[in-house]
Amino acid sequence: MKRALLFGIDNYPFAPLRGCVADALKMQEVLSVNDIPPTGNFQCEVFTSDQEEITTELMYEKIQQYLDDDTGAIRTALLYFAGHGYVDGLDGYLVSQNASKYAQGVEMSDLLHICSQSRIPEIIIVLDCCYSGEFGSIIGNKRLSQLPSGVSILTSSGAEQRSLEENGAGLFTSLLYDALKGEAADILGNIDVAAVYNYVDNMLGAFEQRPIFKTNVSRMTRLRKTTPRITIEELSRITEFFTSPTEPHQLDPSYEDTEPCSTEENVQIFKLLQKMTSVGLVHPVEEKFMYYAAINSKTCVLTPTGKSYWKLIDKGHLRYQE
């Protein structure tokens, strides 16, 4: 089971924000359901400032509750926060609505400690707030990585950067949402936190806020499943069509269904090879299009991406089959 705790705070008594409540609700929408198959994903609970006061006490209570599990049923927990962030000489803070000068909100060091004591195998922290890149570091002369095993952190900005809004929404969360909707998916429709970071990082320009990604995991867990560009059953046939990653597949006119000499078996193989071409796994040799490669009895070969998937399938290491 996977569960997510989400906070969105707009209504601060000081320096109110726009878009954080909407951002939290968008994240609830995208995390709660996979596209394909249309099944449940994260069990989400969202707390927003338009519905209740998000106090420091409430945040600590819910974080401690959600980031631990004594039943062994929860294998992934996700915490999302959109609101004000603050850093002083002692720590970084997720700022609550009842923050005061000496009690700003949830201390990032406390959050890190809660993660280190958790029995949940994987915890993902997503922070859309100013100075969020401070999380996972020690304040002092040096900033040292402090991530416990099984913890990944994705933040909207660096330790000394503000997070930007665009069109009334957090720029980071808008990109995060697009990534989870499918723009960061691999060809099988799988999305993990590393792919999300890579997408967000590439979409932000060199002079905009810089997202931060820190992780201490032995493998990446799928965050969401979207519509695949090729099914795993289709992809698995790549080792049938190519005897090795470097061996070409010989084509001839019998693969093209418009030719009198075509055979049903080769026509079906050719359709799948063309699909593999469309997703960047295969390309024709000495011809621009697969059609002419077949008509002129040329070959097709695996692309670098195709070779990578061939090796994964051959070794039985293709992931995300749960």
pLDDT in tens, 187-246: 999 999 999 999 998 988 765 667 888 888 888 889 999 999 999 999 999 999 999 999
Output the pLDDT for position 251.
98
Every domain range in the chain assigned CATH 1.10.10: 232-315
Every domain range in the chain assigned CATH 3.40.50.1460: 2-225
Specify whether domain 232-315 bears CATH 1.10.10: yes
Tokens describing residue 21: 């409540």
74, 2 contact by CB (below 8 A): yes
Closest CA to 76 of 223, 285, 266: 223
How far is the C-alpha of 183 from the C-alpha of 95, rounded, in Å? 31
242, 302 contact by CB (below 8 A): yes
Low-confidence spans in the chain with pLDDT less than 70: 131-146, 158-170, 206-209, 319-322
Output the pLDDT for position 269.
98
Closest CA to 25 of 106, 105, 84, 82: 82
CATH no. of 2-225: 3.40.50.1460
Output the pLDDT for position 90.
78
**CB crowding 261-290: b at 16 or more within 10 Å, else e:** ebeeebbebbebbbbbbebebbbbeebeeb
How far is the C-alpha of 99 from the C-alpha of 87, rounded, in Å? 13
Output the pLDDT for position 80.
97
294, 277 contact by CB (below 8 A): no
Closest CA to 4 of 23, 19, 24: 24
Q: Which helix (H) or strand (E) holds 104?
A: strand 103-107
